[in-house]
Amino acid sequence: MTSERVQSALRGLGVGGTPLATLEKEDALFVLLEGLLIYQDADGTRRVTLRDLNRIHSDGDGLLRVETPAGTALTASLLGFDPAEVQAFFPQVRDATARAKNLPTAPLPAAGGFKTFGSAPAAPAPAPSRVTTVTAAPASAPGPAEAPVPPTRQQAGAAAPADQPEPNPPATPLKAPPLPLAALPVLAERANAVHALVGRLRVLAVVLGLAAVGLAAVQYLNEQPFQGLWTLIAGGVGSVALFIFADVTRLIVTLARAVAEQPRAPDADA
pLDDT, one tens digit per residue, over 231-269 is 989 989 998 998 898 888 888 878 877 776 765 544 434
Alpha-carbon span 84 to 19, nearest angstrom: 19
Residue 40, pLDDT > 50, answer: yes
Alpha-carbon span 28 to 265, nearest angstrom: 27
pLDDT at residue 210, rounded to an integer: 92
| Alpha helices for 14-129 (secondary structure H) | 83-100
pLDDT at residue 139, rounded to an integer: 35
Alpha-carbon span 31 to 21, nearest angstrom: 6
Residue 144, pLDDT > 80, answer: no
Alpha-carbon span 135 to 143, nearest angstrom: 13
Q: Give the amino acid at 245.
A: F
Q: Which residues pair with 38 in a beta bridge?
A: 31, 47
75: exposed, middle or buried (Cβ count in 10 Å: 0-12, 13-18, 19+): middle
C-beta neighbour count of 158 within 10 angstroms: 20
Report CA-CA distances (Å) from 206 to 55, 90, 239, 248, 253. 62, 62, 7, 17, 22
Alpha-carbon span 171 to 133, nearest angstrom: 24
Q: Mean pLDDT over residues 174-179, rounded?
A: 54
Residue 125, pLDDT > 50, answer: no
Nearest to 130 by CA among 58, 231, 233: 58
| 223 Cα distance to chain centroid | 63
Nearest to 22 by CA among 204, 186, 168, 8: 8
pLDDT tens figures, 98-107: 999 887 655 5
**DSSP code for 105:** P
Alpha-carbon span 161 to 267, nearest angstrom: 27
Share of the chain above pLDDT 90, in %: 28
Residue 259 DSSP SS3: helix
Higher pLDDT, 8 or 193: 8
pLDDT tens figures, 56-92: 988 878 889 999 998 998 899 999 999 999 999 999 9
Alpha-carbon span 47 to 166, nearest angstrom: 33
Rounded to the nearest 10 degrees, how much is the dihedral formed by the CA atoms of 204, 205, 210, 214? 90
Residue 110, pLDDT > 60, answer: no
Residue 160, pLDDT > 60, answer: no
